[in-house]
Amino acid sequence: MSILPERVELKTPEQILVMRRSGKLLHRVHDMLAQSIRPGVTTDQLDTLAHDMIRDEGATPNFLGYQGYPATLCISVNDVVVHGIPGDRPLVEGDIVSIDGGLIIDGWHSDAARTHVVGEPRSVADAELVRITEGALWAGIAALASAERVGEIGAAIEDYVAEEAGESLSHLEGFGGHGIGSAMHQAPDVMNYRTRARGPKLRPGMCLAIEPMLIHGPGNWELEDDDWTVRATAGGRAAHAEHSVAVTEHGLLVLTAGDGGAAELALRGITAAPDPLADIDG
């Protein structure tokens, strides 16, 4: 018996517009959190700030309660790579803090992650880890502009990381991005490195969450007893960057970027799709 691939949800322009509203609000939430990170602030306090802002704007956090997840955000500090649960740990100078979150507006999801350094980086290696992870995200997004199949995104991310970091950084094996739309996690898988699977053909209406996760040094990891926290077992610090992106008839629209991705794509010779919310502040 053959196993058919899971169906990829294609969005209409009207649905992408709502996803852009969701993504633009999430962009504002991340900006607020970036301004709130400082020594002494706990990860639980950051989580509360995000939860309150999302609710005050009439949206719904999509992480909270997802498969039993207990918080609005995943906040991963230092050697925690992803899915760190907020708690009473106060941040200190030099911490690397990855914040991953999402929300729902009118049934449509957004998902994005940023990595921050609290105060000044502890080392050049820490600063480079964050820079390269962000660059890898945009390398993947740029590849999406001309790719024929989803698998080309991971190949572009892998090549960028190898060129920028050699063997000093490792990918979090077994984790990657995903489709997004009427559910937070949908087909197809969007891996951050080459695999045998070429993935489905790219078509207008596809919306993908692209999210490289990099570890300084060996990429060994373990899942902690809470069944969420993914920690690098070799002690390397980690970073995570993510955007939700729509493939449209007119090009790419980075749903969770403030300007729809226009500035970063222009640096790579790519013209972003027109932003339907370009004249709305926030």
The band of 196, judged by pLDDT with boundaries at 50, 70 and 90, is confident
Contact 177, 185 (CB under 8 A): no
How do residues 52-69 score in pLDDT, each as one tens digit?
999 999 999 999 999 999
Residue 208 CA to residue 195 CA, distance in Å, equals 18
Q: Name the nearest CA neighbour of 238 among 208, 211, 209.
A: 211
Contact 279, 23 (CB under 8 A): no
Model confidence, pTM:
0.96
Query: pLDDT at position 3, please?
Result: 40
Show contacts of 140-143: CB within 8 Å, 24+ apart: 140/190, 140/192, 140/210, 140/212, 141/210, 141/243, 141/245, 141/252, 141/254, 141/261, 141/264, 141/265, 142/265, 142/268, 142/270
Contact 161, 155 (CB under 8 A): no
Share of the chain above pLDDT 90, in %: 94
| pLDDT over 50 at 37, yes or no | yes
Query: pLDDT at position 5, please?
Result: 55
Residue 165 CA to residue 132 CA, distance in Å, equals 8
Amino acid at 110: S
Q: How would you class 227 by CB atoms within 10 Å of its CB: exposed for 0-12, middle for 13-18, buried for 19 or more?
A: exposed
Per-state percent for the chain, helix, strand, coil, to nearest 5: 30, 25, 45
- CA 270 remoteness from chain centre: 21
Residue, of 5 and 271, whose pLDDT is higher = 271
Contact 120, 218 (CB under 8 A): no
How do residues 9-25 score in pLDDT, each as one tens digit?
999 999 999 999 999 99
**Mean pLDDT, residues 197-217:** 96
Q: Name the nearest CA neighbour of 95 among 113, 73, 74, 80.
A: 80
Residue 95 CA to residue 81 CA, distance in Å, equals 13
**Which tokens sit at 160?**
């960028």
CB atoms within 10 A of CB 256: 28
How do residues 137-169 score in pLDDT, each as one tens digit?
999 999 999 999 999 999 999 999 999 999 999
